[in-house]
Homo-oligomer: A and B are copies of this chain.
């Protein structure tokens, strides 16, 4: 190993808090589904036609309107927060962060407050011995391409308690039935810069019985979803985060390359990284200690503020915006659609001011692929700090300031080092055209192995272990973890 020495001394690893190396029955079944690149149940060409037809047929108009034209929403007199008359859905409030971290030192911002636990659920069923996922062609008002491929169920608590007066979410009962067969069920955070302490259950439930057919739903293998994940703006965020919580083994060395031209050395290193059979730079106990250290090194306090009291932001009749044009705006939209639970509605949406860059640097360390995770502070995360990709930013926010670490490495990467490069959007039910360029970039020893206590090299297996627990891996890192499995 030619790397520079890490700043932390070598310490004896704790007993690994993680999955034992080697396959499990469940991981083997998911892996078999990931290796099935096509399926007789819904052949890829049939899917493509069906999906194109859904995108074409859905007359779906999203129009920006003044806040005053929102129906059921208002700026509350006492604090200027944007709230729904029912007290449900979500609200836009202010948040003040105080920290002794170097840099800005503290800030205030608007933030979406939705203190509920929703369900993101994929129903799976075996056909011909291979697990298939019941996937939905679902429109969301903020999606850049209207309809995206979504889990079987995306339900906020408001949704499934019927707060919005629409019809009951299809297939939801499979995820609530007492006798259900649960394969995955974990609470995971969502965008910490935009949501205050938001999280959802990421659930996979298996059925063996007949499931009613539905025009908006198709059964796909995970391999088929992986094929779509390499296309811009097809697979939605909710699908990605649920898939990130699924355990996989590495495919055998004989498995065909997903993308022609991927170097064999990368594929072999990825295989060892996923299988857990290679040696990780840090034992999992050490990694947990490094994460503790990252959380504890600085103070972090936050408190909600009245939205009207957030400095540096201004409200007009049509938007709430940062006075330097950074971060995001909050806008109001009128939405008309045919296939959503109710046919027409208005709602606020959060619109980032530009496309972001979200990237993992990956490096082959003694034959095992390691990803560089950033212990990143985000205002709304329940515990302030989770593992994020190496780079996660809107470049405009750093105009006139020091650029985020490694952004230059990502943007200057030669094409032959780029293992994944797809534009993917964040959740279209709350965010308007919030797409990011998601990348996985392989680097060599020009990027040293460790020189910053906020950045941590880890294997894919370790990331898969941590994502079994809440609040370790942020939603952008989970999107990339799901995407990584397409780069075999």
Report the Cα distance A27→B285, complex, angstroms: 12
Q: Mark A376-415, 1 if CB is under 8 A from B, else 0.
A: 0000001100000000000000000000000000000000
A178/B20 contact (C-beta < 8 A), A26-B14, A115-B301, A183-B12 known:
no
Task: Name which residue of chain B comes closest to A200, CB basis.
Answer: B296
Task: Name which residue of chain B comes closest to A249, CB basis.
Answer: B15
A13/B18 contact (C-beta < 8 A), A187-B295, A201-B292, A292-B201 known:
no
- Report the minimal beta-carbon distance from A298 to chain B, rounded to whole angstroms: 10
Which of chain A's residues 233-290 have a Cβ closer than 8 Å to chain B?
Answer: 247, 285-286, 288-289
A210 within 8 A of B: no
**Residue from B14, B27, B187 within 8 A of A292 (CB atoms):** B187
**Residue from B12, B247, B383, B469 within 8 A of A382 (CB atoms):** B383
B382 touches A182 (CB 8 A): no
B183 touches A14 (CB 8 A): yes
Chain B residues, CB < 8 A from A18:
17-18
A16 touches B17 (CB 8 A): no
| Most interface-central of A12, A299, A465 (chain B CB within 10 A) | A12
Task: Name which residue of chain B comes closest to A284, CB basis.
Answer: B468
A293/B12 contact (C-beta < 8 A), A157-B299, A469-B17 known:
no
A417 within 8 A of B: no
A97 within 8 A of B: no
Which of chain A's residues 149-183 have a Cβ closer than 8 Å to chain B?
Answer: 157, 178-183
- Report the minimal beta-carbon distance from A150 to chain B, rounded to whole angstroms: 20
A178 touches B7 (CB 8 A): yes
Chain B residues, CB < 8 A from A49:
none
Task: Name which residue of chain B comes closest to A468, CB basis.
Answer: B17
Nearest first, the 6 A-B pairs at minimum CB distance are A185-B289, A15-B24, A15-B19, A17-B468, A117-B296, A20-B20
Give 17 A-B contacts (CB < 8 Å), ordered by A residue. A12-B25, A12-B26, A14-B247, A14-B468, A15-B24, A16-B19, A26-B285, A116-B299, A117-B295, A182-B289, A185-B292, A186-B292, A187-B295, A187-B296, A201-B292, A201-B296, A382-B382
Binding site for B on A (CB under 8 A): 7, 9, 11-20, 24-27, 115-117, 157, 178-187, 201, 247, 285-286, 288-289, 292-293, 295-296, 299, 301, 382-383, 465, 468-471
Extra contacts besides A7-B178, A12-B25, A16-B19 (19): CB < 8 Å: A9-B181, A11-B181, A11-B182, A11-B183, A14-B24, A14-B184, A14-B468, A15-B20, A15-B24, A15-B247, A17-B18, A18-B18, A26-B285, A157-B299, A185-B293, A187-B296, A201-B292, A288-B469, A382-B382
